[in-house]
Structure 1
C-alpha cells in the first residue's frame, strides 16, 4: 500500500463513520456563506495570489509529515502565522489532518485569527462534509487532490466549493491529472512535485507540466522549493505562486525565508 492509499483509506473510513446530518451542516454553512458574500469575513485567496508583481508565497503551517516525521510538533500556529505575514506571505496553508500530519481545525482557526491573510485548509478532502467543515472552521480555500478523487467526486466537490465561496486549489502531479482538473473548470492549479504515492520529490516536475497550464489559470508550484533559485525557476516557468511547507517550518528565521522566495515575476 502506498502513502496515498493509506492516507485516503483512513480519510474515507473517517468520512463513512461521520454520523452528522449533512442537512444540518448545510444550514450552519449558510450564515457563513452569506457573511463571505458581504465581505465581512471573506478573504480572497485568488486575489491574494495575483495582487503583486512578485511570486506569491503560500506559507504552510505543518507539524509533521509521514515521510519526515516531526517538523515542529510544539509550534504555535498564531506565532508562525505572524512570522509568515511579516515576511510577506500572500496566503497561509494550514494542515488539518490529525492522523498523518498532526494538524487540526484549531490550528487553522488560531492561525487565521492571528493575521489578515487568506487561509487554505490543507487536507485530504474526500466528501461533501469535508468542504462544509472547511467553511465552518473559517477556511478561505480548500485543496482538492485529483489523484485522490474520481472524476465525479472532483466535479461535485469543486462545484460545492464554489457554492460555498471557497477557492479550490486543485492539485495535480502530471499532464493527465492536469487535463482532469481543467475539465472541471479549475481556476487555480497546483503542481505538486512530491509524488504522494512514494513521497519522493522531482524538482523538475513543475517545469515540465507548466507549458500545459493555460494562461488564464493561476499556476502554483508545490513541494521541493527550498531556495530563492528554486523560486526563480518556478517564476520563469510561468508559476504565479509557490506553496512551501517544510523549508519554512524548519527555518530559524521564517519571515526572512518567506521574503527570499518573493522573487520578481517575468515582465
Structure 2
C-alpha cells in the first residue's frame, strides 16, 4: 500500500500547481506537545477515510470536527490532505486552522521539496515525514526545509533500524512511532516499547494508531510516549469533544 501511495504521489507532483497563500500565521506545534493540557499530549486527527477502513465519517465537516476537538482539550490537530487514498483536501487543513487556535499537522506523504512550499502556503504548522518512504538524506533535507519555512516536522518510523539511519543525519524534535504495520495493517500499541533507549534526549515520542481507550493511553505512556496521535476512534464518535473526554476517562 505504501508503495502504491508513493507512486501516485509522484504523479501528483508532476501536475503540481502552486496554491494560493492562505496567510495563516504559524503556531508552535512542538511546544504544544511539550507542554500538554493533560498528562500526555493529544494530536486529534481530522480524517474522512482510509485505505484499510474506507469511509470513516459520512457527515464530514473539517471545521466542525476541529472545533469540537479544541473544545475537548486537544493540544494539536492533524488533518489528512491526501485525496486519492484518504479522501482529504488541502482546503480541509486551512478550514480547520481558521476555526481553531490549535497548531495543525499536515498528514500526507511528503516526498518532494515543492510539498514543503505547498504545506507552508496552505497553513500547516508541521508536516509528517515517513522514514520508510524516504532516503535518510532526503528526509533530512525536507526536515531542514520545513524548519526554514517555520514548520515543525513529525518524523515517523516503524522500526529501530530506520530510526538509527535517520539519527545519523538529524536529531528530530518529534519522533512518531506508527503502531500500524504498513504491510499487514495490523496494530500493536506495544511497538513504542521497542524504541526504549533509542529516542534522543530532547526528542518527544509520539505514539500513533490503534489507541482507543484510557488503558491504551496509560500503556503507551508507560512505554515512554509523550503524546499520541488518534484519528479513527475519535472520528467514529458522533461528537468529537465527547470522544476525547471518553478517551481520557473523563466521561462515559
Query: What is the match of residue 9 of structure 2?
Result: 11
Superposed CA offset, 1:78-119 (max 9, x none):
110111111100000000000000000111111111000000
Deviation of 1:198 after TM superposition, in Å, equals 2.9
| 1:33-44 equivalences in 2 (<5 Å) | 41-44=25-28
Deviation of 1:136 after TM superposition, in Å, equals 0.3
**Cα distance in structure 1, aligned partners of 2:191 and 2:171:** 22
TM-score by length of 1: 0.87
| 1:69-218 equivalences in 2 (<5 Å) | 69-183=54-168, 184-218=170-204
Secondary structure of 2:35's aligned partner:
coil
**Cα distance in structure 2, aligned partners of 1:100 and 1:106:** 16
Superposed CA offset, 1:114-141 (max 9, x none):
0000000000001001111000000000
Deviation of 1:19 after TM superposition, in Å, equals 6.4
Secondary structure of 2:189's aligned partner:
coil
C-alpha spacing 1:162/1:208, structure 2 compared with 1 (3 Å): same
Superposed CA offset, 1:184-224 (max 9, x none):
22110000011223322122111222442123101100001
For structure 1, the residue ranges without an aligned partner over 5 or more in a row are 36-40
TM-score by length of 2: 0.92
Contact 1:189-1:220 at 8 Å conserved across structures: yes
Deviation of 1:262 after TM superposition, in Å, equals 4.7
For structure 2, the residue ranges without an aligned partner over 5 or more in a row are none
Q: Which has the higher helix share?
A: 1
RMSD: 2.0
Superposed CA offset, 1:243-265 (max 9, x none):
000000002332132234458xx
Number of matched pairs: 247
Query: What is the match of residue 30 of structure 2?
Result: 46
